A and B are shown apart, each in its own frame.
Chain A
Amino acid sequence: MSIIGLAFFVGIVGLTLVVTYFAAKRTNTASEFYTAGGGLTGWQNGLAIAGDYLSAASFLGIAGAIALNGFDGFFFSIGYLVAYLVVLYLVAEPLRNLGKYTLADMINARFDQKKIRATAALSTITIVIFYMIAQLVGAGALIQLLLGIDYWIAVLIVGVMMTVYVLFGGMTATSWVQIIKAVLLMIGTVIISVLVLMKFHFNIFEMFSDMKSATSHGENYLNPGIKYKDPIDTMSITMALVFGTAGLPHILMRFFTVKDAKTARSSVIYATWIVGVFYILTIFLGFGAAAFVGADEIIAANAAGNMAAPLLAQALGGDMLMSFVSAVAFATILAVVAGLVLSGASAFAHDIYGQIIKKGQITEKQQMLAARYASISVAIFSIILALFAQKMNVAFLVSLAFCVAASANLPVILYTIYWKRFNTTGAVSAMLTGLLSALILVAISPNVLGPEGTAIFVGNPIFPLTNPAIVSIPAGFLAGYIGTVLSAKADARKFAEVSVKANTGFKG
């Protein structure tokens, strides 16, 4: 690690701590803690949404996936981006109009029952834990590689940092860390992309035609099918990508950090442009890494390809650019895990403790205390799990989180907003079926059971697909439907209320 590299790391960490210091002064109530008091502007929240989106999995993962698998890696970019339309068209505004801090708030706006809130909190916590372990394991591996320190120290550093942001600065600090990181990440990506394009004399056609002979895949590198050969598996993965985002708690939470539905909407537009441009640039990152670093060297650094972007930065811009990109990747992980801690803590402290155990009879001060204790607990729990999960495949954990989000959360969100007949039994059965079917099908999939060295346990997979979305998402919808029609009628009066609130933003 050079002096410059260390300076970038210290600089970025220092900047985020300054932000946290100022945010801490403005974090005195539960609303300020969970949602920054709804005080973010459209572009601020847009950048923060983009930041949440461009996790380490996006930046490091997609660059590596395109470098190694050509077009098949680009499926992730497309899926994550089109997912925005699902969020914008079907979920964002009703959610914003009905909820307060959490997904459970929104479902409880229609069904005011403890078991609904408890189930929604359970699925939120499950998603947060999987996603968090993925980020922490990835962070540990990255920092280990970049700084040459032990895995467990790396995980502890990230863990302590995320706890500090959330504990003292709440959502305000988390959002600003996210904004800073989104800006830095875009700068880094644009610089690398321009350098890659320069190598191809700023001619995209030359780049594509050169790529036909740049890798061992030959012309096939530019065609789909290098990684995803089974059509059903391909469909299942693309389903999880496009439907999962609309159920991810830390993304949904971003719609409560602005003052009204109109601002929520404009922030999504900012985010769509930023994220869209970023995902287009992933082509340059991936192609560049394949051509100027080479598959062998990428795989030698990390089998999943996660080091493609930093290695490309080194090949094109030397140690200086590599240090900058690595520091940005570190900031990316910090920002995303902080958001995850916050959404996990809100499910524990607000839903389970505040609303279920204390039945909403809780003072502002108690709420804040509960939120902080919950943040520390979520952080410690995730750090411990991450220390044991070092050998787990990061991409697998992320896709699992997406799959649970799509299967357990999306059906109940859509039914709650749009289906008049929907009732309590339907809501509980949809969430539990989506959650359990996703978890069980993954547990018996080739990720968990497979030949020596490819999976967690040695054995024959019972379920053939690596991602169960194509089965578990319909299962969630179906269970919600069956649970509803088999049980008592819905409360038409309550649906009238939900429909008016969702469509007009009126809260009586």
Chain B
Amino acid sequence: MGNQKLTPLPLTEEKTTYEKIAGSKEFKHMVKTKNKFLVPLSIFFLLFYFSLPLLTSYSTILNKPAIGSISWVWVFAFAQFIMTWSLSMIYVKKANQFDQMSDDILSDFQVERKGD
């Protein structure tokens, strides 16, 4: 297809722009910073999410009243909503910083991000 942009693999040992960027200190630093943010939070929200069915399946502790007539299970369920909203806002804030980092890297290598 005409408009697909695939860089053919060069036969020589010369490095592609991708490899040069991937090998650079700045890129490695960005990926590391990203993962430091993404991995712990992903583990956190999955644990938080699965702790709800785990607690309801193996205990009745959440059936105790929390606020007036509302029991803990509803409070915990609502907390899942708060968590989702908060973490998505945090993500956008962080992602904008990563955009800045990747813009800097691309301009260091004098390449432009192209749309498709």
- The residue in B49, B67, B74, B115 that gathers the most chain A C-beta atoms within 10 A of its C-beta is B49
A508/B88 contact (C-beta < 8 A), A503-B30, A503-B31 known: no
Report the Cα distance A82→B79, complex, angstroms.
11
Q: How far, in Å, is B100 (CB) from chain A's closest CB?
A: 11
Report the Cα distance A209→B70, complex, angstroms.
8
Please indicate the chain B residues that have their CB under 8 angstroms from the CB of A362 in the complex.
1
Please indicate the chain A residues that have their CB under 8 angstroms from the CB of B7 in the complex.
497, 508
Report the Cα distance A26→B91, complex, angstroms.
34
How many interface residues does chain B have, given as a range? 35 or more
- The residue in A206, A208, A506 that gathers the most chain B C-beta atoms within 10 A of its C-beta is A506
Asked if A503 contacts B27 (CB within 8 A), the reply is yes
Please indicate the chain B residues that have their CB under 8 angstroms from the CB of A79 in the complex.
49
Please indicate the chain A residues that have their CB under 8 angstroms from the CB of B78 in the complex.
280
Stretch at the interface among A153-161, A164-172, A218-226: A218-226
* Chain B binding surface, main DSSP class: helix
- Out of B16, B67, B87, B106, name the residue touching A496 (CB < 8 Å): B16
Q: How far, in Å, is B27 (CB) from chain A's closest CB?
A: 7
Please indicate the chain B residues that have their CB under 8 angstroms from the CB of A88 in the complex.
88, 91
How many interface residues does chain A have, given as a range? 35 or more
Report the Cα distance A500→B57, complex, angstroms.
43
Asked if B18 contacts A496 (CB within 8 A), the reply is yes
Q: How far, in Å, is B46 (CB) from chain A's closest CB?
A: 8
Q: How far, in Å, is A91 (CB) from chain B's closest CB?
A: 11
Report the Cα distance A420→B67, complex, angstroms.
49
Report the Cα distance A279→B46, complex, angstroms.
19
Please indicate the chain B residues that have their CB under 8 angstroms from the CB of A228 in the complex.
57
Asked if A506 contacts B111 (CB within 8 A), the reply is yes
Within 8 A of B (CB), among A213-246: 222-225, 228, 231, 234-235, 238-239, 242
Report the Cα distance A225→B41, complex, angstroms.
29
A234/B57 contact (C-beta < 8 A), A85-B84, A506-B21, A508-B17 known: yes
Please indicate the chain A residues that have their CB under 8 angstroms from the CB of B113 in the complex.
504-507
A82/B84 contact (C-beta < 8 A), A222-B71, A504-B106 known: yes
Please indicate the chain B residues that have their CB under 8 angstroms from the CB of A276 in the complex.
81, 84-85
For A497, the closest partner residue in chain B by CB is B18
1/0 per residue B94-114: CB within 8 Å of A?
Answer: 011011001001100001111
Asked if A493 contacts B19 (CB within 8 A), the reply is yes
For A211, the closest partner residue in chain B by CB is B69
Q: How far, in Å, is A370 (CB) from chain B's closest CB?
A: 12
Asked if B1 contacts A360 (CB within 8 A), the reply is yes
Asked if A89 contacts B27 (CB within 8 A), the reply is no
Chain A: residues with CB nearer than 8 A to chain B? 38, 71, 74-75, 78-79, 81-82, 84-86, 88-90, 93, 100, 112, 204-206, 208-209, 212, 222-225, 228, 231, 234-235, 238-239, 242, 259-260, 262, 265-266, 268-269, 272-273, 276, 279-280, 354-355, 360-362, 493-494, 496-497, 499-501, 503-508
Q: Add 15 more A-B contacts to A74-B77, A503-B102 (CB < 8 A).
A: A82-B45, A85-B42, A85-B87, A89-B41, A89-B42, A90-B38, A100-B116, A112-B6, A209-B69, A234-B56, A235-B53, A354-B1, A499-B31, A504-B113, A508-B16
